[in-house]
């Protein structure tokens, strides 16, 4: 095998490349992994440099025609605002033709002939994209008041889950008989939705549960993207003290009652859901996956009823993303462990903009998936910190699983990485458990500084929203 053919197999099918072994995936020597990632990054750049309009604009501005080393891609990493750079008025005024034009500049897919007239909200718009293209765009939760939209395809999402399930469900054998290959999944949330986490459910059914019968959701319906957008706008306006002046548009305003009703149904449905999963799945080996706050509420109610050790001890309980503003009490992890009957919860570090799910090891370190290239940037000047030793700075990633959009992305997260092998035995770069948003730190400054690329980033943003309003 040449390094180029290895790189293609590695980027296009990381699970298969490593024999569907999580341990093998995270035990590649640093120098060998760097060579693989460099070749795969070069391949993605060559594939997308002239096919993703925003990337073309940035690369032209800086005269970048090829990538020699991993760090050469740093000037082309998108700011974390790029995927929500559209004018919010396009959603409020139902100008989904222009929102489609904005998204078209972020993907190699051709969206020029997509028909979106008549769309009365984000839900309708996403359904139109599903029906007319191979895209399955996902969006963020919108808790800041603006949603990010990512133009992901069916193939990219499938590849993500074939890879992610290795970390989510230890010991899962993709080649075993059906009973051993699949697990029951407990999902204390809506079954359907357009957000990245809600669409997670669709692929969990396909790749981990194997059927809808093994997937147990708290609410059988859909979490409306329009309702989430409205909720995020209301929360952000409330935080600024501007609710009175907020005009979300008549179409969204009419759905406020739907949002309130959905929240009431979720809370009211917990007792019946708890009784149902206890009766149906007691003693089973399950994947229990949801936000820590919802999982804790369910576990607390169960423990108050004397329901402890309900599932098999080798079940997998996965959560991440924090509590979204909910402060959990001391000992919350032990409450969940006691209810489910597992010795330890499994934390993950993930985000809508990057497809990989980075799992925490028994030593309390988040291990970066090999299909994701980690950059740690100096928070003052944006330069790439050395890929050795222990470094603290702004996390940035290149997602090698992305083949139809540019996978380079700068986060708002402050992380501490150790590039050395972990005490758990895995060799992949690993992050300390404490990850803080720069916007939440003292002073709240989340400005991304990089003098070399500031004008290119500005030109890219100008290009993205040009002629849309």
- pLDDT exceeds cutoff 70 at 136: yes
Per-residue pLDDT, 462: 62
The confidence band for 36, taking pLDDT boundaries of 50, 70 and 90, is very high
Please answer whether residues 101 and 86 qualify as being in contact, where contact means their C-beta atoms are separated by less than 8 angstroms.
Answer: no
pLDDT, tens digit (0-9, with 9 covering 90-100), for 314-326: 999 998 755 455 6
For 221, other C-beta atoms within 10 Å of its C-beta total 12
Mean local confidence (pLDDT), 355-384: 95
Provide CB contacts within 8 A for 219, sequence distance 6+. Answer: 189, 190, 191, 262, 265, 266, 269
Mean pLDDT is lowest, of 132-146, 371-385, 391-405, 407-421, for 132-146
Mean local confidence (pLDDT), 359-384: 96
Whether residues 100 and 11 fall in one domain: no
Mean pLDDT of the chain: 88
Per-residue pLDDT, 453: 53
Per-residue pLDDT, 356: 92
295, 328, 352 - which closes a domain: 352
Mean local confidence (pLDDT), 362-366: 96
Number of domains the chain is built from = 2
Whether residues 317 and 386 fall in one domain: no
Whether residues 228 and 299 fall in one domain: yes
Residue carrying structure tokens 């991440």: 320
292, 324, 352 - which closes a domain: 352
User: Per residue, what are the HEC states of 171-225?
Assistant: CCCCCCCHHHHCCEEEEEEEEEECEHHHHHHHHHHHHHHCCHHHEEEEEEEEECH
Whether residues 128 and 42 fall in one domain: no
In a domain, 53, yes or no: yes
Whether residues 206 and 99 fall in one domain: yes
325, 352, 379 - which closes a domain: 352
Mean pLDDT is lowest, of 17-26, 140-149, 349-358, for 140-149
- pLDDT exceeds cutoff 90 at 263: no
- pLDDT exceeds cutoff 80 at 260: no
Per-residue pLDDT, 458: 59
Whether residues 328 and 391 fall in one domain: no
The confidence band for 228, taking pLDDT boundaries of 50, 70 and 90, is confident
CA-based nearest residue to 227, from 201, 202, 203, 192: 192
Whether residues 70 and 115 fall in one domain: no
Q: Identify the domain containing residue 193 by its residue range.
A: 81-352
Whether residues 152 and 227 fall in one domain: yes
Whether residues 447 and 311 fall in one domain: no
Whether residues 161 and 266 fall in one domain: yes
- pLDDT exceeds cutoff 60 at 270: yes
In a domain, 427, yes or no: yes
Whether residues 71 and 87 fall in one domain: no
Please answer whether residues 138 and 152 qualify as being in contact, where contact means their C-beta atoms are separated by less than 8 angstroms.
Answer: yes
């Amino acid at each position: 095998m040449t390094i180029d053919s290895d790189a293609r197999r590695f980027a296009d099918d990381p699970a298969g490349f490593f024999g569907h072994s999580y341990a093998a995936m995270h035990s590649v020597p640093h120098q060998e992994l760097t060579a693989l990632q460099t070749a795969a990054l070069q391949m993605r750049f060559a594939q997308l440099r002239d096919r993703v309009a925003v990337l073309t604009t940035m690369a032209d501005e800086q005269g970048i025609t090829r990538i020699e080393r991993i760090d050469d891609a740093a000037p082309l990493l998108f700011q974390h605002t790029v995927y929500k750079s559209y004018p919010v008025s396009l959603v409020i005024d139902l100008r989904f033709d222009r929102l489609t034009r904005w998204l078209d500049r972020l993907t190699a897919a051709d969206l020029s002939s997509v028909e979106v007239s008549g769309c009365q909200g984000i839900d309708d718009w996403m359904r139109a994209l599903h029906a007319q293209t191979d895209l399955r765009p996902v969006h963020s939760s919108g808790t800041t008041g603006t949603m990010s939209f990512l133009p992901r395809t069916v193939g990219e999402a499938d590849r993500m889950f074939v890879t992610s399930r290795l970390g989510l469900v230890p010991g899962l054998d993709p080649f075993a008989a059906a009973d051993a290959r699949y697990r029951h999944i407990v999902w204390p949330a809506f079954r359907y939705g357009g957000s990245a986490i809600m669409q997670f459910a669709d692929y969990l059914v396909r790749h981990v549960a194997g059927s809808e019968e093994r997937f147990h959701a708290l609410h059988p319906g859909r979490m409306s993207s329009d309702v989430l957008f409205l909720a995020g706008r209301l929360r952000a306006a409330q935080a600024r003290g501007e609710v009175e002046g907020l005009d979300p548009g008549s179409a969204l305003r009419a759905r406020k009652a739907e949002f309130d009703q959905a929240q009431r149904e979720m809370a009211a449905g917990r007792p019946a859901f708890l009784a149902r999963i206890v009766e149906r799945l007691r003693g089973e080996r399950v994947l229990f996956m949801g936000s820590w706050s919802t999982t804790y509420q369910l576990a607390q109610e169960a423990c108050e009823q004397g329901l402890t050790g309900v599932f098999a001890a080798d079940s997998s309980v996965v959560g991440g993303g924090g509590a979204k503003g909910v402060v959990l009490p001391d000992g919350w992890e032990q409450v969940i462990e006691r209810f489910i009957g597992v010795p330890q919860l499994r934390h993950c570090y993930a985000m809508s903009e990057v497809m990989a799910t980075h799992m925490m090891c028994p030593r309390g370190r988040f291990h970066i998936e090999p299909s994701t290239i980690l950059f740690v940037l100096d928070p003052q000047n944006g330069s790439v910190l050395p890929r050795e030793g222990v470094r603290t700075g702004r996390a940035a990633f290149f997602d090698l699983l992305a083949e139809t959009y540019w996978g380079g992305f700068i986060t708002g997260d402050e992380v501490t990485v150790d590039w050395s092998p972990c005490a758990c035995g895995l060799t992949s770069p690993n992050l300390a458990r404490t990850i803080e948003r720069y916007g939440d730190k003292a002073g709240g400054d989340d400005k991304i500084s990089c003098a070399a690329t500031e004008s290119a980033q500005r030109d890219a943003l100008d290009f993205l929203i040009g002629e849309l309003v």
